[in-house]
Structure 1
């Protein structure tokens, strides 16, 4: 039985209900959360008529399927979650409409179309970059552009040695966040899709923590964006959007 007072986190998008505990835990990790922190992670089906809850009870992973008459889930939890799921389903429809409008707008912009050929960069990121960076020539090179986005590591000198720290997180926070999200998408699909960028990220994942690789990939994306904007070309690798 799930105790009261447990923190509940609800996914904003529906998931494939064929996923078991391991698949759902992987989704939690992909969202940069800790699946073993005692919180309830709630996932819903596309029709919003079923809910799966994955929860670490301290000794193992519990997976619940919330439907009417499921006595494993307290009635108060069911009555609280199901209306929320229906609301999220309605929001999904509105988000899809907004996404379609953004995609249509991005397709009318030449620069956005070029940027959408880069893995990890979709209509939202491409539109934001095209609207925010009016003149790429104001940056001396790709490193300065990445620094503008806060995606370059801090440099610390001690005893004559230069050491690279965490990224500065200076500059345009919104664009940086979009590129980091895009980097996570590149990492998530790296096994199923080829291309130099995904292969590079795959090799890096063998020796480095996933979050570090995500930031490094975002830095790489920023440098690719700079090159495409500067040279008015398309990405030569496997495109993200056709």
Structure 2
């Protein structure tokens, strides 16, 4: 996949940038779907009650019907974009962290490597690496460490939500652990995206300042 005429750090940074761009696109789509759903909120919008006669039935109210159909579409879109945004934001966080960690260890990866299944990235099983000891000269080290803890907490909460998902779907079944975890996991996508952006900045710092172990082939 690598092009011998292209420097490894060019393809690596482009790989991380592309993940960030994909996450931002899904974030904008999720926000747009949320706004579109709000625009059809029946508690906010007063439908026009006019009706039309329809053969084989009494009548239909066009405006009510349109709002119902659109609300259904916007709800589906919001659920889908939320899922895609969270999935891609988590992939961005882990991809940027892995790329940064590799470079800090003196490696020269050409691309971020992630697995895909069913149109989504496979969620990494391990936690984000603790990069504080390797980034002690970077001004954003504390922020990256804080975001790391926030992402780890929310990833754990998401796992709890998924474990209880079946039971939570049962009518009248209220599980306090599920409710608490669901609230905590709600902003996983935003926290993961913020981590990805910060790790990407750290990657640029490391590459531009040369704060990495030298390759023996460099002769320096």
Query: TM-score, length-normalised on structure 1?
Result: 0.26
Which structure: greater helix fraction? 2
| Highest RCO, 1 vs 2 (Cα 8 Å, sep ≥ 6) | 2
Higher Rg = 2
Which structure: greater strand fraction? 1
